[in-house]
């Protein structure tokens, strides 16, 4: 979802119903981000739509985990705030993420075809691929694509679709359709949460669709995540932990958790 920041203004648009719906959703998310809440009446007043239409918009975003429905509107959900914090998150646990990226890169060999997911940990592995020869990288991460274009020995395919500015990544039905056309040796994916009970979780369906498709196509699946995400669940379940071939994390994960994961036959790599 392409989120724009703008003040509360009225819109009189002659474009398609789908475009109007998308703009309403942008307005709802932006208002929630800035004010923490929004009422059905605000949507009605700003867009001259019916109460049913306004509530339908809220219901859709609630299903995707971006907000919490209330009787007269919606409240901001924690996942929404995380969407607006890429620049901050990329420096969180920076050294741990670099170590995770360095270890993950060791699994990539010359002539491999790989998928690199979006996320601040995944980006860190790119710098360690500069000496690989003949590898092909498919990604929906704008920073990953930007970094890898510095290396002429790496072929980079950037999936098309809707850009989520604050996550610096590409999602949507176009990205999904393109992802379905590819098959890779290895998929390196991220997650917003991970637990033995619920598996891999994300803030919404958008964040997981492309990851799922590329992981299904891969011979091996690697999950890269710092220890702060382990045994912390997000809103939307998108994959079983058994679908992973490797889980690479930092040494911040406690020993009891390591033992539990290894007891479940999970190939946990701690760096």
Kindly write down the DSSP assignment for every residue of 238-250, as one continuous string: EE-GGG-SEEEE-
Q: What is the pLDDT of residues 224-268, one digit of tens each?
A: 999 989 999 887 899 999 999 999 999 999 999 999 999 999 999
Question: What is the rounded distance in angstroms from the CA atom of residue 252 to the CA atom of residue 268?
Answer: 13
DSSP state of 125: G
Beta bridge partners of 189: 223
Cα–Cα nearest to 202, from 246, 155, 173, 238: 238
Q: Span 87-270: which CATH code?
A: 3.40.50.1360
Q: Span 17-83: which CATH code?
A: 1.10.10.10
Average pLDDT score, the chain: 87
Question: What is the rounded distance in angstroms from the CA atom of residue 7 to the CA atom of residue 26?
Answer: 11
Strands (E), 159-204: 162-164, 169-171, 186-189, 193-195, 199-202
**Residue 80 contacts by C-beta under 8 Å, 6 or more apart in sequence?**
29, 32, 33, 66, 67, 203
pLDDT at 89: 61
Strands (E), the chain: 37-39, 67-70, 73-76, 113-116, 136-139, 155-158, 162-164, 169-171, 186-189, 193-195, 199-202, 220-224, 236-239, 246-249, 268-270
Q: How confident is the model at residue 58 (pLDDT cuts 50, 70, 90)?
A: very high
Phi, psi of 141 (to 5 degrees): -100, 120
Domain parsing of the chain, residue ranges: 17-83, 87-270
pLDDT at 17: 63
Q: What is the pLDDT of residues 64-115, one digit of tens each?
A: 767 888 888 888 765 555 555 555 566 667 899 999 999 999 999 999 999 9
Q: What is the pLDDT of residues 109-124, one digit of tens each?
A: 999 999 999 988 999 9
> Residue 215: which H helix or E strand, with range?
helix 205-217
Question: What is the rounded distance in angstroms from the CA atom of residue 190 to the CA atom of residue 211?
Answer: 8
pLDDT at 44: 95
pLDDT at 86: 58
> Residue 270: which H helix or E strand, with range?
strand 268-270
CA 198 from chain centre, in angstroms, equals 17
Question: What is the rounded distance in angstroms from the CA atom of residue 162 to the CA atom of residue 149?
Answer: 21
Question: What is the rounded distance in angstroms from the CA atom of residue 236 to the CA atom of residue 188?
Answer: 19
Q: By three-state DSSP, how is residue 231 classified?
A: coil
Tell me the C-alpha to C-alpha distance, in Å, between residue 167 and each of 66, 86, 196.
14, 6, 26
Are 230 and 211 within 8 A, CB to CB? no
Phi, psi of 130 (to 5 degrees): -65, -20
């Amino acid at each position: 979802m392409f989120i724009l920041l703008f003040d509360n203004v009225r819109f009189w648009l002659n474009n398609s119903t789908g475009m109007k719906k998308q703009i309403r959703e942008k307005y709802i998310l932006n208002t929630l981000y800035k004010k923490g809440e929004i009422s059905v009446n605000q949507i009605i007043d700003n867009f001259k739509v019916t109460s049913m239409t306004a509530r339908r918009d809220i219901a859709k975003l609630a299903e995707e985990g971006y907000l919490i429905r209330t009787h007269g509107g919606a409240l901001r959900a924690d996942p929404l705030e995380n969407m607006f914090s890429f620049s901050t998150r990329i420096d969180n646990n920076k050294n741990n993420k670099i170590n995770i990226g360095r270890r993950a890169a060791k699994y990539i060999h010359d002539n491999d075809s790989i998928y690199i997911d979006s996320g601040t940990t995944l980006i860190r592995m790119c710098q360690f691929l500069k000496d690989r020869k003949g590898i092909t990288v498919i990604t929906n991460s704008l920073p990953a694509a930007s970094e890898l274009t510095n290396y002429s020995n790496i072929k980079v395919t950037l999936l098309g679709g809707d850009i989520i500015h604050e996550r610096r990544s590409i999602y949507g039905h176009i990205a999904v359709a393109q992802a379905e056309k590819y098959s890779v040796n290895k998929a390196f994916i991220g997650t917003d949460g991970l637990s033995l009970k619920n598996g891999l979780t994300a803030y919404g369906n958008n964040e997981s669709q492309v990851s799922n498709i590329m992981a299904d196509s891969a011979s091996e699946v690697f999950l890269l995540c710092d220890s702060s995400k382990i045994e912390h669940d997000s809103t939307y379940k998108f994959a079983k932990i058994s679908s992973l071939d490797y889980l690479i994390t930092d040494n911040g994960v406690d020993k009891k958790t390591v033992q539990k994961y290894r007891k479940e036959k999970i190939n946990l790599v701690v760096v």
